[in-house]
A and B are shown apart, each in its own frame.
Chain A
Amino acid sequence: MSRSPSGDRVALWRNPAFRAYVLQGVLLAALAALIGFIVTNTMANLEARGISTGFGFLDERAGFSIPQTLIEYSGDSTYGRTFIVGLLNTLLVSALGIVVATIIGFAVGIARLSPNWLLARLAGAYVEIFRNIPLLVQILFWYFAVLQALPSPRQSLSLLEIVFINVRGLVIPDPQPLSGFAATPWALLVGIIAAITLGIYAKRRQVRTGKALPIYWLGAGLIIGTPLLVFLLTGAPLEWSIPELTGFNFSGGVRVLPELVALWLALSIYTASFIAEIVRSGIQSVPAGQVEAANALSLPGGITLRKVVIPQAMRVIVPQLTSQYLNLIKNSSLATAIGYPDLVAVFSGTTLNQTGQAIEIVAMTMAVYLVISLLVSALMNVYNARTLLKER
């Protein structure tokens, strides 16, 4: 029996520890009841509809075709295979979107801080317009209003007669590696390893002697130069298959689905408007005193930017940037609205309709996004711990 500070006896239901136990007990019971309710109902409903549970359906023949497959796939493949194909398509459009959104976002974010009034306003207008229009409207706009209004293949718009765009999508040159090309990727790997080693050495040398190496130029030279040299020494074993109009369609080159182009454009433009705001707030979060102090030390402008402003701005930018990347990956699921064969469209759409295994399929789809989110969050926590302001 507990007592109040004045020594009076306190009723049991006024004791915080006791109340905490009771509350948690009630919560547990309520959760158990809810789960039990859902499970029994689901079992009964599934039985009534004659649906068997389990993941056996993954080995069955899918029997439908998918317009874009990064791995080998045909109608005879299994439902398990459709899952992989959809997942890879999701990852493809996400990766493409992340690259372009980052480029546009940084450009617009920096432009918003430009001393040029017009450029800053234009960047501001970009942000206000695109982040206030639903992504789905933008996707539908690019797909139905822009890409569907493009000319037929015979009247394709072309860029330097190499890249063509028409109502059926984008046709780009296709690199065809010949024998001996395999050495180039290896050279790239060697170049990257050499650049990292050089970086570590340069840092140690700077700590020891105070002299800095031009590490950016040397590193870039190693990473680009090594594979280029090997490529040329092996006799440039790469041919480009340039698209060419023959009759009503193109031969050669690779055709990129119009759905992919529309989704890619919309995702990049939409996410870039958020990234631009993040970049702007990140740069503005660096106190002016930091730059002034660097000036007082007479550091040159480039070094002030690289060693003073960017590292501090990045501490603000990177966590928010990552959550935008995650949003982009999740938003790529809107692909289903225009029929780009991503995970949701192929698996939660067609496969679900054909098999009726709602629970398994929705759970698998959600699990994919959850795993990606949790992985990225975990990486982010590591980054945060490393870049945390070190105080005392």
Chain B
Amino acid sequence: MAGESMRDVMIEARRPPNAHRGVLKWLQRNLFNGPINSVVSVVTIGVLLWVLWPFVQWALIQADWLGDSRQACSGEGACWVFISARFESIIYGFYPEAARWRVDIVFALMAGLLAWLAIPRIPGKRWAAVIAVVGFPIAAYFLLLGGHFGLMHVSTRNWGGLMLTLTVATIGIVGSLPIGIILALGRRSNMPLVRAVSVVFIEFWRGVPLITVLFMASVMLPLFVPTEVEFDKLLRALVGIMLFWSAYMAEVIRGGLQAIPSGQDEAGKALGLGYWHRMGLIVLPQALKLVIPGIVNTFIALFKDTSLVLIIGLFDLLAIIRAGLTDSDWLGFATEGYVFAALVFWVFCFSMSRYSQYIEKRLQTGHTN
């Protein structure tokens, strides 16, 4: 029979010949294919060893990890005792010890909400968004500031450390996005006055450095309001940060709005939808999806720039570490302090940028060739 000469099982794919696989072949193909590449590889390895090895030795191998005072530092490598001894103040700032559990609850709520929002498999995103935008800020406000429900009042002057950094970043992010959307819509409006106001507002904030904005917020805002109104220092900084970043946000969103074909808006008009319906149901969902990477990049930039509040005298993560460096018991640990601050900021920013890349891939519902 003809059938007998045919196989009914697939032959296992054969492995490539030995000369084409393995570590050595990989090395040859990627690092040593040709004289120039070989020289480049050797030089790169040399530079890596020259820079990285002393750093690893300093930061890990010869470092001191245990102890609670300066005596624990051997002086050979990094002394991370400097960080662990002040870990509490790096996290909570000057928040009274008895009330720190409230900060912990806010941290836990925030982490839970973030996970709910960020992990696609968990259902109920709409509820998560409502809680994150409405419920969480109210809860965080009462928990952190206190003064109600028998909770001790904690003035914002005592806020500090990572807690303050996260507060400023969260409020900045939550506040600047809606203002940015309004400004972006305003800049594309047909009404000349609305457009002019939006353009001037956006170009002004984008043209000046954040430091001058914070200076303005700290020295000029108190002049703008009646004397009897007391303007909290943190609140002043937050107003400055929100206004500043909403302008950048607006430009990112405008990019998205411009990328939506005008046929979408016209189709909405043909269906008899009003402006806000067309924007809210048709244009903005598509535009915002397009510019998610840009929005997250703005979040990252905002997060990094929260460190600037130290210049107007707020004690964020960086400022707390810097203040610790002037402690006479702990002089000479600048490297440890700043490397640790850099690491904390880096972990936050890097995770945000990786998450944005992931979400960008997930949302890629269109056809690309």
| Interface residues, chain A, with chain B CB atoms under 8 Å away | 20, 23-24, 27-28, 31, 37-38, 41-42, 44-46, 48, 114-119, 122, 128-129, 132-138, 140-141, 144-146, 148-149, 330-331, 333-334, 336-337, 344, 348, 352, 358-359, 362, 365-366, 369-370, 373-374
Closest to B348 in A: A132
Closest to B306 in A: A134
Assess whether B311 is in contact with A132, with CB atoms less than 8 Å apart.
no
- Alpha-carbon distance between A46 and B224 when the two chains are bound, in angstroms: 10
Assess whether B339 is in contact with A133, with CB atoms less than 8 Å apart.
no
Contacting residues, chain B, for A374 (C-beta < 8 A): 203, 207
Closest to A376 in B: B207
- The distance from the CB of B52 to the nearest CB of chain A, in whole angstroms, is 10
Assess whether B223 is in contact with A42, with CB atoms less than 8 Å apart.
yes
- Alpha-carbon distance between A276 and B308 when the two chains are bound, in angstroms: 25
Interface residues on chain B, number (Cβ under 8 Å) = 57
Contacting residues, chain A, for B341 (C-beta < 8 A): 137
Assess whether B334 is in contact with A144, with CB atoms less than 8 Å apart.
yes
Contacting residues, chain B, for A366 (C-beta < 8 A): 207-208, 212, 216
B281 on the interface (CB 8 Å rule)? Answer: no
Q: Assuming A24-B193, A141-B342, is B226 touching A41 (CB within 8 A)?
A: yes
Contacting residues, chain B, for A20 (C-beta < 8 A): 190-191
Interface residues of B in 21-78 (CB under 8 A from A): 30-31, 33, 37, 40-41, 44-45, 47-48
- The distance from the CB of A301 to the nearest CB of chain B, in whole angstroms, is 14
Assess whether B304 is in contact with A129, with CB atoms less than 8 Å apart.
no
Closest 6 CB pairs of A and B: A117-B30, A373-B207, A132-B349, A330-B209, A134-B304, A145-B335
Interface centre among B45, B206, B207, B307 (most CB of A within 10 A): B207
- The distance from the CB of A374 to the nearest CB of chain B, in whole angstroms, is 6
- Alpha-carbon distance between A137 and B318 when the two chains are bound, in angstroms: 7
Assess whether A358 is in contact with B220, with CB atoms less than 8 Å apart.
yes
Closest to B33 in A: A115
Contacting residues, chain B, for A45 (C-beta < 8 A): 222-223, 227
B322 on the interface (CB 8 Å rule)? Answer: yes
B84 on the interface (CB 8 Å rule)? Answer: no
Which of B193, B207, B209, B338 meets A28, CB within 8 Å? B193
B87 on the interface (CB 8 Å rule)? Answer: no
Q: Assuming A45-B222, A362-B216, is B227 touching A140 (CB within 8 A)?
A: no
Q: Assuming A27-B193, A115-B37, A119-B40, is B211 touching A133 (CB within 8 A)?
A: no
Which of A41, A117, A330 meets B31, CB within 8 Å? A117
Q: Assuming A144-B334, A334-B211, A366-B212, is B191 touching A116 (CB within 8 A)?
A: no
Which of A28, A119, A132 meets B44, CB within 8 Å? A119
- Alpha-carbon distance between A333 and B207 when the two chains are bound, in angstroms: 13
What are 10 inter-chain pairs, A to B, with CB distance below 8 A?
A24-B191, A116-B30, A118-B40, A136-B310, A141-B335, A330-B208, A330-B210, A334-B308, A344-B209, A359-B223
B88 on the interface (CB 8 Å rule)? Answer: no
Assess whether B194 is in contact with A27, with CB atoms less than 8 Å apart.
yes
Assess whether A46 is in contact with B204, with CB atoms less than 8 Å apart.
no
B133 on the interface (CB 8 Å rule)? Answer: no
- Alpha-carbon distance between A331 and B208 when the two chains are bound, in angstroms: 10
Closest to B213 in A: A366
- The distance from the CB of B185 to the nearest CB of chain A, in whole angstroms, is 13
